[in-house]
């Protein structure tokens, strides 16, 4: 028989081969015992093997070789199964047990179906069945066009052992090609980086200073930092101690709002390219002899090296790179450290260093880096660290005072904020005209008097003309028509021979009046100028005249007004449906009214800080035996027989001269106007925004529509320029030629003049407010005794 091409390969019918009409199927049914056997129900198929589907014209025999072996109960069966798996016919049955190879024959009925080889109802420990050399009767070929060759081996129990054994005998092998569908593949890029393991470390020396080195002062005299007067500079360059190579003095300077600088000179132990020194780290400390109680004065890098080509001495100028450090800080970090107020309207800084400075203008404080280069904000009135210095503490002759300068003082600061924004205006105006029917036609004793009628076409045409001046119709036009009627003379003598008839057709065309709503839409630039003058009245009274300065900012709300005016679909799309005004002030992001308030508050803070800062121009200067611990955060009170003064250190310079043995700290403290009175930074109450007092007259909301009648005895000469409105004539009812020619007759027409928009409502407009706020500013202890 032919191999059943196109047929679905039967379940389990794998590893088969065929030669001639024989099928060679070496198949092993087996099952091993395990715990799951307890769940096997009697009568269940333990294993099965299906033949290809056969179609037989008449019954025929099939043969196969069978071997059974096992320790179990149950049977090996062969069934004939129609395609619908219904009404299968048992063809063969043998009990499971020991049965050597023997040929078996089954009779297959006519029709279509397949042979089903099964082990049924098995229970026991192990069973095996082999079948071989299955010879099927000739079958009509299946008609399926394609060849599908799936292999499915599906044990019916989860733990069934299902080996396939292929005997290598004297048979023609029939290799089975299994073609599977293209599998779905999930992939992920798998970049491999090979890196070195490393770690970061930082040596953490701990220096414990004797508390005495930062004590003393308050008239104690002596030199607490070096009690025995013996000291040494400690200078490390790029981590190497170069103190022994120093020549001349070492100095370190630091002042409020400036970088810390240092200078030293040394003779290198070996030749050095001076340019290679730029940017190299430097640390300078003051220590007692032997390096004890070293206190850091400076941490930074070399900015400029200079070499004396005669001696080889290199002089280094160093900086703590404060500007770079601040510039590298994020704005949120600066905000958290500095506090205060700032708004972009005050000017966008070039970098974050400038941003810090701009923000600090609203805080009574100074910036600095400490000796370890940590950013710090030092409040002017903070007294976290305070010392008292008396005459016994200072170097003789070093004490000097410079009082606050009048030229530096400020008694008032005027803050001006301009807030510019578009005011989007919408105006509704009435176009209205009305007459009674009697105006047009009325009965008299002599007959009927009539005038030429106002018509619907005249109304619509006139309104069309009115819209050409920037106005548009905002609602449907309402026209009042006369009702059809006949107007009779009031006597029997009829001027028209009996009456004046308004037909239904006339009534539809003629009009007694009309009502229309016109709308105009435009943007007006508004500039609110708020001026607040912050005044320190005490100092102004003392000076006798204002010492003023002005600061200001401009905030503008950006908007494409031209586009908005030209296109009514551009938001905001508020429309007027009444006679009157609407407006909306457009506030772009970052330029809202709240932003304007924020900018104004920042200006006010700056104003107060300027008053305070300008008052602190006095300086008390003196020198002490070197005190490395005194820095810009220290508040110093100076008490001598001739002077009492107190203030924060604003300048400090340490000069260490090993040659002379002198190590001196020169200090300057800032003192303000005398008084020693504290004052807190004000909590501002902003003045109200300025208001535009202009109010349009009623005529701004109504159209000009007059009435002019020609043909009457008193009718003046027609003047098109002044006769705006409904222009008509009396009907020529029986006038003589002389009468007709002696009178002025007008063209029948209607014209409407829409209202003008006043410059106060249309042109750029400035509104202003001016307020004065009095403040107090801290004063200092400053007494010349």
Binding span for other proteins by CB under 8 A among 249-257, 290-298, 454-462, 749-757: 290-298
Alpha-carbon gap, residue 10 to 79, rounded angstroms: 14
DSSP label of 238: T
Decide: is 307 part of the binding site for other proteins (CB under 8 A). Answer: no
**213 or 591, CB closer to other proteins?**
213
Nearer of residues 81 and 333 to other proteins, judged by Cβ: 333
Choose the binding region for other proteins from 35-43, 208-216, 270-278, 770-778 (rule: CB under 8 A). 208-216
Q: Is 366 helix (H, G, I), strand (E, B) or coil?
A: strand
Residue 83 corresponds to which tokens in the numbers above? Answer: 């395609």
As measured in angstroms, the least distance from the Cβ of 637 to other proteins is 21
DSSP state for residue 137 in the 8-state scheme:
P
Residue 708 pairs with which residues in a beta bridge?
727
CA distances from 663 to 176, 188, 421, 603 (A): 101, 69, 62, 44
Full DSSP string of 552-582: EEEEE----HHHHHH-TTSSP-----SSEEE
Give the residue with the Cβ less far from other proteins, 30 or 288: 288
| In the complex, minimum distance from the CB of residue 74 to other proteins, in angstroms, rounded to a whole number | 55
Q: Which is nearer to other proteins, 214 or 235 (CB)?
A: 214
When asked if residue 733 is in the footprint of other proteins (CB under 8 A), the reply is no
User: In whole angstroms, what is the distance from residue 59 CA to residue 1 CA?
Assistant: 16
Q: Which of 58, 180, 330, 468 forms a contact with other proteins (CB under 8 A)?
A: 330
- Stretch near other proteins under the rule CB under 8 A, chosen from 44-52, 54-62, 204-212, 749-757: 204-212
Count CA within 13 A, CB hemisphere, residue 42: 3
By CB under 8 A, residue 281 contacts other proteins:
yes
For residue 752, give the DSSP letter. Answer: -
| Residue 387 lies near other proteins (rule: CB under 8 A) | no
Q: Nearer to other proteins by C-beta: 355 or 608? A: 355
CB 571 within 8 A of CB 584: no
Residue 193 contacts other proteins per CB under 8 A: yes
Residue 227 C-beta: closest distance to other proteins, Å: 13
Shortest separation between residue 581's beta carbon and other proteins, angstroms: 51
Among residues 34, 61, 306, 324, the one that binds other proteins under rule CB under 8 A = 324
**At its nearest, how many Å lie between other proteins and the CB of residue 319?**
12
| Tokens standing for residue 230 | 């013996």
Judged by CB, which is closer to other proteins: 44, or 337? 337
User: If binding is defined by CB under 8 A, does position 299 make contact with other proteins?
Assistant: yes
Distance CA 63, CA 167 (A): 19
Q: How far apart are CA 501 and CA 505, in angstroms?
A: 11
Token pair, residue 154, equals 């599906």
Identified binder of other proteins from the candidate list 200, 271, 541, 713, rule CB under 8 A: 200
Contacting other proteins (CB under 8 A), which of 214, 226, 242, 750?
214
- How many Cα atoms within 13 Å fall on the side-chain side of residue 334? 22
Q: Which is nearer to other proteins, 371 or 636 (CB)?
A: 371
Choose, by CB under 8 A, the member of 258, 327, 403, 767 that binds other proteins.
327
In the DSSP assignment, the letter for residue 380 is T
Place of tokens 């972009």: 344
Nearer to other proteins, 83 or 281 (CB): 281
- Residue 215 contacts residue 224 (beta carbons within 8 Å): yes
Closer CB to other proteins, residue 206 or residue 738?
A: 206
Select from 61-69, 205-213, 261-269, 610-618 the region that touches other proteins (CB under 8 A).
Answer: 205-213
Is 201 near other proteins (CB under 8 A)?
yes
Q: Is 258 in the site for other proteins (CB under 8 A)?
A: no
State how beta strands 634-639 and 643-657 pair. Answer: antiparallel
Q: Taking the CA atoms of the chain, what radius of gyration do you get in angstroms?
A: 55
Residue 568 neighbours by CB under 8 Å, 6+ apart: 521, 575
Strands (DSSP E) contained in 361-497 are 365-369, 375-379, 385-390, 400-402, 412-434, 441-443, 448-450, 454-455, 472-473, 478-480, 485-487
Residue 185, token pair as written in the block: 């593949």
Instruction: By CB under 8 A, tell whether 189 contacts other proteins.
Output: no
Is 685 a binding residue for other proteins by CB under 8 A? The answer is: no
Q: Which stretch binds other proteins (CB under 8 A): 289-297, 472-480, 502-510, 603-611?
A: 289-297
Return the residue of 136, 246, 294, 773 that touches other proteins, per CB under 8 A: 294
Q: Per CB under 8 A, does 198 bind other proteins?
A: yes
**How near is the Cβ of 300 to other proteins at its closest, in Å?**
9
Q: Does 296 bind other proteins (CB under 8 A)?
A: yes
Binder among 60, 94, 156, 325 for other proteins (CB under 8 A): 325
Check binding of 295 to other proteins (CB under 8 A): yes
Residue 197 interacts with other proteins (CB under 8 A): yes or no: yes
Q: Give dist(CA 47, CA 121) in Å, integer.
A: 10
Q: Is 278 in the site for other proteins (CB under 8 A)?
A: no
Does residue number 211 form part of the binding site for other proteins (CB under 8 A)? yes
Among 372, 438, 566, 733, binds other proteins (CB under 8 A): 372
Task: Give the number of C-alpha atoms closer than 13 A to the C-alpha of residue 420, restricted to the C-beta side.
Answer: 12
Residue 350: CB minimum distance to other proteins, A:
16
Check binding of 374 to other proteins (CB under 8 A): yes
Q: How far is the CB of 290 from other proteins (least distance, A)?
A: 11
206 counts as binding other proteins under rule CB under 8 A: yes
Which residues have CB under 8 Å from 696's CB, separation 6+?
581, 758, 760, 761
Report the residue number, 197 or 396, with the smaller CB distance to other proteins. Answer: 197
Beta carbon nearer to other proteins, 121 or 628: 628
Cβ-based nearer residue to other proteins, 298 or 453: 298
201's torsion region: left (phi>0), alpha (psi -120 to 50) or beta?
beta
Beta bridge partners of 729: 710
**Count of CA atoms in the C-beta half-sphere (13 A) of 198:** 5
Asked if residue 416 binds other proteins (CB under 8 A), the reply is no
DSSP 451: B
Residue with the two structure tokens 């002062």: 217
Q: Are 624 and 286 in contact (CB under 8 A)?
A: no
- For position 666 contacting other proteins by CB under 8 A, the verdict is no
Q: At what angle do helices 352-360 and 331-338 cross, to 10 degrees?
A: 20
Decide: is 208 part of the binding site for other proteins (CB under 8 A). Answer: yes
Kindly state the smallest distance separating residue 335's Cβ from other proteins, in Å: 12
Q: Is 205 in the site for other proteins (CB under 8 A)?
A: yes
279 binds other proteins (CB under 8 A): no
Binding region for other proteins (CB under 8 A) out of 26-34, 51-59, 294-302, 497-505: 294-302
From residue 59 to residue 98, the character string flagging contacts with other proteins as x (rule: CB under 8 A) and all else as - is ----------------------------------------
Using the minimum distance from each CB to other proteins, give the nearer residue, 374 or 406: 374
Give 612: exposed, middle or buried? Use CB within 10 Å, 0-12, 13-18, 19+.
Answer: buried
Q: What six digits make up the tokens of 152?
A: 């499915």
CB of 347 to other proteins, least distance (A): 23
Taking the alpha carbons at both ends of the chain, their separation in whole angstroms is: 135
Helix (H) or strand (E) holding 638: strand 634-639
Paired sense of beta strands 485-487 and 111-135, if any: unpaired
- Can you say how many angstroms the Cα of residue 750 is from the centroid of all Cα atoms in its chain? 58
**Would you say 295 or 751 has its CB closer to other proteins?**
295
The residue ranges that bind other proteins (CB under 8 A) are 193, 195-211, 214, 281, 283, 291-296, 299, 321, 324-325, 327-330, 333, 372-375
């Amino acid at each position: 028989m032919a191999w059943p091409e196109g047929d679905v390969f039967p379940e389990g019918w794998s590893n088969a081969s065929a030669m001639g009409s024989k099928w060679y199927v070496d198949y092993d049914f087996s099952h091993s015992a395990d715990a799951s056997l307890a769940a096997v129900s009697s009568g269940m198929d333990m294993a099965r093997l299906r033949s290809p589907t056969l179609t037989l014209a008449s019954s025929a025999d099939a043969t196969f070789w069978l071997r059974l072996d096992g320790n179990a109960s149950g049977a090996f069966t062969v069934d004939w199964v129609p395609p619908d798996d219904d009404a299968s016919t048992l063809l063969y049955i043998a009990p499971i047990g020991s049965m050597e190879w023997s040929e078996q024959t089954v009779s297959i009925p006519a029709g279509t179906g397949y042979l089903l080889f099964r082990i049924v109802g098995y229970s026991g420990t192990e069973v095996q069945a082999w079948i071989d050399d299955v010879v099927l009767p000739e079958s009509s070929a299946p008609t399926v066009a394609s060849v599908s060759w799936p292999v499915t081996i599906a044990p019916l129990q989860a733990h069934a052992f299902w080996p396939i054994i292929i005997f290598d005998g004297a048979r023609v092998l029939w290799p089975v090609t299994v073609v599977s569908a293209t599998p779905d593949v999930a992939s992920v890029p798998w970049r491999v980086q090979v890196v070195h393991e490393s770690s970061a470390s930082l040596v953490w020396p701990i220096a414990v200073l004797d508390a005495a080195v930062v004590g003393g002062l308050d008239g104690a005299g002596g030199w607490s930092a070096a009690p025995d007067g013996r000291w040494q500079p400690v200078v490390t360059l790029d981590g190497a101690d170069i103190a022994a190579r120093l020549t001349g003095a070492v100095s370190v300077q630091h002042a409020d709002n400036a970088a810390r600088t240092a200078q030293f000179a040394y003779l290198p132990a070996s030749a050095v390219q001076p340019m290679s020194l730029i940017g190299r780290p430097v640390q300078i400390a003051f220590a007692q002899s032997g390096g004890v109680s070293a206190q850091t004065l400076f941490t930074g890098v070399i900015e400029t090296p200079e070499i004396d080509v005669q001696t080889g001495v290199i002089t280094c100028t160093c900086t703590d790179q404060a500007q770079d450090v601040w510039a590298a800080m994020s704005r949120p970090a600066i905000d958290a450290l500095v506090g205060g107020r700032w708004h972009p309207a005050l000017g966008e800084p070039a970098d974050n260093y400038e941003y810090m400075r701009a923000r600090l203008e609203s805080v009574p404080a100074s910036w600095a880096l400490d000796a370890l280069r940590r950013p710090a904000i030092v409040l002017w009135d903070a007294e976290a660290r305070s010392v008292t210095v008396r005459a016994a503490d200072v170097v003789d002759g070093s004490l000097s005072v410079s009082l606050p300068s009048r030229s530096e003082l400020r008694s008032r600061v005027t803050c001006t904020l301009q807030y510019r924004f578009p005011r989007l205006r919408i105006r509704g105006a009435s176009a209205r005209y009305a007459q009674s029917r009697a105006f047009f036609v009325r009965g008299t004793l002599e007959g009927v008097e009539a005038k030429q009628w106002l018509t619907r076409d005249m109304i619509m045409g006139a309104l069309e003309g009115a819209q050409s001046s920037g106005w548009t119709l905002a609602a449907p036009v309402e026209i009042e028509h006369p009702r059809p009627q006949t107007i009779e003379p009031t006597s029997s003598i009829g001027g028209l021979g009996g009456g004046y008839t308004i037909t239904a057709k006339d009534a539809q065309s003629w009009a007694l009046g009309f009502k229309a709503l016109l709308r105009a839409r435009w943007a007006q630039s508004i500039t609110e100028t708020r001026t607040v003058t912050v005044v320190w009245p005490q100092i102004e009274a003392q000076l006798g005249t204002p010492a003023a300065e002005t600061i200001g900012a401009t905030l503008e709300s950006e908007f494409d007004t031209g586009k908005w005016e030209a296109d009514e679909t551009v938001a905001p799309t508020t429309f007027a449906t009444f006679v009157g005004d609407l407006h909306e002030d457009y506030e772009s992001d970052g330029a809202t009214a709240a932003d304007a308030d924020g900018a104004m508050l920042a200006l006010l803070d700056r104003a107060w800080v300027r008053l305070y800062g300008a008052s602190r121009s006095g300086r008390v200067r003196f020198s002490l035996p070197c005190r490395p611990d005194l820095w810009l955060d220290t508040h110093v009170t100076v008490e001598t027989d001739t002077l009492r003064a107190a203030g924060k250190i604003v300048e400090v310079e340490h000069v260490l001269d090993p040659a002379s043995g002198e190590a001196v700290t020169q200090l300057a403290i800032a003192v303000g106007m005398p008084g020693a009175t504290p004052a807190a930074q004000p909590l501002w109450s902003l003045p109200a925004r300025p208001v535009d007092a202009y109010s349009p007259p009623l005529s701004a909301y109504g159209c000009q529509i007059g009435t002019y009648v020609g043909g009457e005895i008193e009718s003046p000469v027609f003047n098109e320029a002044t006769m705006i409105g409904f222009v008509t004539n009396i009907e020529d009812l029986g006038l003589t030629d002389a009468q007709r020619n002696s009178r002025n007759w007008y063209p029948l027409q209607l014209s409407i003049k829409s209202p003008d928009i006043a410059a106060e409502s249309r042109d750029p407009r400035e509104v202003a407010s001016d307020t004065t706020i009095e403040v107090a500013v801290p004063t200092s202890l400053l007494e010349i005794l």
